[in-house]
Chains A and B, each alone.
Chain A
Amino acid sequence: MDTLHDLLGPAWLPIWTLVKIVAIVAPLMLCVAYLTYVERKVIGYMQVRIGPNRVGPIGLLQPIADAVKLMFKEIIVPSGANKGLFFLGPILVIAPALAAWAVFPFTDKLVLANIDAGLLYIMAITSMGVYGVVVAGWASNSKYAFLGAMRSSAQIVSYEIAMGFALVGVLMAAQSLNLVDIVNHQAGGFWQWYWLPLFPLFIVYLIAGVAETNRAPFDVAEGESEIVAGFHVEYSGMAFAVFFLAEYANMILIAGLTSIMFLGGWLSPFPFLPDGFFWIAAKMSFVLFLFLWFRATFPRYRYDQIMRLGWKVFIPVTLVWILVVGAAMQTPYGHLFH
């Protein structure tokens, strides 16, 4: 590797960074593909069906077949659509979904950019995802798409506040915005992770994460039974697939962030077992399974109930718990909140 370094000279840094980016994005895309497969299988078994089982052994090649099909489909642009913005929509959705992974620590060494303001960066980047939805809904020049875009923007803006407050609790406990520091601060096994002292925030973050990614039971932005497919009703082929990729990449991101903030990241739950990438993968899989479980279990929320839950339940709960954490830190019991 040193010889490569000497050979490339000043071009070394950009090339090496690009290699690292590919090393994150390529497995991520593979995970997205197989998450769709797992989702169909898990929901299938929960509904006493078998799920995809035709392409490849036990249906394992189904995501590949889906991807190939989507790639060869024609992309239809509605005649009344605003063409430039119509194609900008999917780009604006996928870009933040991938950019957020830049500061995501897989282990304490395995992180692309270990920056001090990592938590803030992730909050800022993920808050931009809503533009893609809004632009796509508006540019399609379709009533259903427009309704979906409006529902989605109102929902995402509302739940972002609760999510932000939940993260404020985490950074108060960890005294740092650096994601690696936040995990290191939870060292000491299962009972030291932040899910316990910050339990209300953990629950709020998890549920708000489902709402942020427009997943069932908060998927009113798509709402098949009311507005067909919501903001992406006019999209076909790869343009539709990009929305799909972004939704699942965001799901994996939220699962990863939940594992880092509240479930101890790559730390092992038992002090006698070594830490490592395995643990964060296991925790993310668990949270993703919860996402699928929710989808199979709960009927869709009504729109006004979603707004009520976000503004009148989650935001007060997080505010009160931030106050509790802040007050407890001034007492002799402060060590319970680290």
Chain B
Amino acid sequence: MEFKSLVFYFLSTILVLAALRVITARNPVHSALALVLAFFTGAGLWLLLEAEFLAITLVLVYIGAVMVLFLFVVMMLDINLEELRKGFWSYLPAGLLVAGLMVVEMVMVLGGKDLGLGTPAPHGADYSNIKELGRLLYTDYVYPFELAAVLLLVAMVAAIALTHRKRGDTRQMNPADQVKVKRADRIRMVSMKPVKPEPPKSDEDEE
């Protein structure tokens, strides 16, 4: 077997096992961590496909940011799994439908040769797909790209607007005012005459 296929099967095995752990783990934190592992091995598979930029972005965005927030939320929730697993099997028909669709799609992608989709030729070691990707994104696909960016911006503004409610009883500080504070605002210098302290009383009971 070629070394590359060996790496592929190694990563795929970990990926499948991690994905199984995501749905079978009893503890939601374990699930979230298994999902992190799944993303990481997925990025490894993309590296094998010469998609370095996408692989690194997957790690940077999904592992470095999205999953941290996921984990953050999951850790703080007190989840009752028994409650959650009630009626688990009633989702089976919908789940089977989704799974069936995904299998069909996978077959269409993997069997692409038979359906007339060729495999792209591999590039040399000096080929940089980051430049190519950037060029395509900002020339041929500039409008879809900008649309996606605006969509994300709207989603972000909406999320903040929905969750940010001003309550009447919260006290907020103004950092600019805090910085502007001078010494004279906070302390008052009082000039006092030096006073000699009274000599201590006789210490009979102290011995």
Contact = CB atoms under 8 A, between A and B. Distances in A.
Interface of A: 82, 85, 115-117, 120-121, 123-125, 127-128, 130-131, 134-135, 138, 146, 149-150, 153-154, 156-157, 160, 177, 305, 308
A160 B68 CA distance: 12
A149 B76 CA distance: 11
A33 B76 CA distance: 36
B53 interface: yes
> B52, B60, B76: which has the most chain A beta carbons within 10 Å?
B60
B75 A116 contact: no
B128 interface: yes
B138 to A, nearest CB: 13
Contact of B60 (A124, A131, A150, A177): A124
Given A116-B128, A130-B68, A124 B56 contact: yes
Contact of A117 (B53, B64, B75): B53
A121 B75 contact: no
Interface in B4-40: 27, 29-30, 33, 36
Contacts of A146: 75
Interface in B123-164: 128, 130
B35 to A, nearest CB: 12
B168 interface: no
Q: Please tell me the size bucket of the interface on B.
A: 20 to 34
Contacts, number: 66
Given A124-B64, A127-B63, A117 B56 contact: yes
A128 B59 CA distance: 8
16 contacts: A116-B128, A117-B52, A120-B53, A120-B56, A120-B60, A123-B60, A124-B59, A127-B65, A128-B64, A130-B64, A130-B68, A131-B36, A134-B68, A150-B72, A150-B76, A157-B65
Contacts of B72: 134, 150, 153-154
A68 B102 CA distance: 55
B45 to A, nearest CB: 15
B105 to A, nearest CB: 28
Specify the main secondary structure of chain A where it touches its partner. Answer: helix
Nearest to A131: B36
Specify the main secondary structure of chain B where it touches its partner. Answer: helix
B168 to A, nearest CB: 20
Interface in B53-86: 53, 56-57, 59-60, 63-65, 68-69, 71-72, 75-76
A177 B30 CA distance: 35
Closest 10 CB pairs of A and B: A127-B64, A124-B59, A124-B60, A120-B56, A124-B56, A116-B128, A138-B75, A117-B52, A153-B72, A157-B68
Given A117-B53, A121-B56, A153-B72, A308 B175 contact: yes
B33 A135 contact: yes
Interface of B: 27, 29-30, 33, 36, 52-53, 56-57, 59-60, 63-65, 68-69, 71-72, 75-76, 128, 130, 175
Contacts of B64: 123-124, 127-128, 130, 160
B3 to A, nearest CB: 10
Nearest to A126: B64
Nearest to A312: B175
B46 to A, nearest CB: 12
A142 to B, nearest CB: 13
Contact of B65 (A85, A116, A160): A160
A96 to B, nearest CB: 10
Contacts of B56: 117, 120-121, 124
Contacts of A157: 65, 68-69
Contacts of A131: 33, 36, 68, 71
Nearest to B173: A304
A247 to B, nearest CB: 18
B71 A134 contact: yes
A156 B53 CA distance: 23
Given A120-B60, A177-B130, 5 more contacts: A116-B128, A124-B64, A146-B75, A153-B68, A160-B64
A177 B75 CA distance: 36
A43 B36 CA distance: 39
Nearest to A164: B60
B132 to A, nearest CB: 12
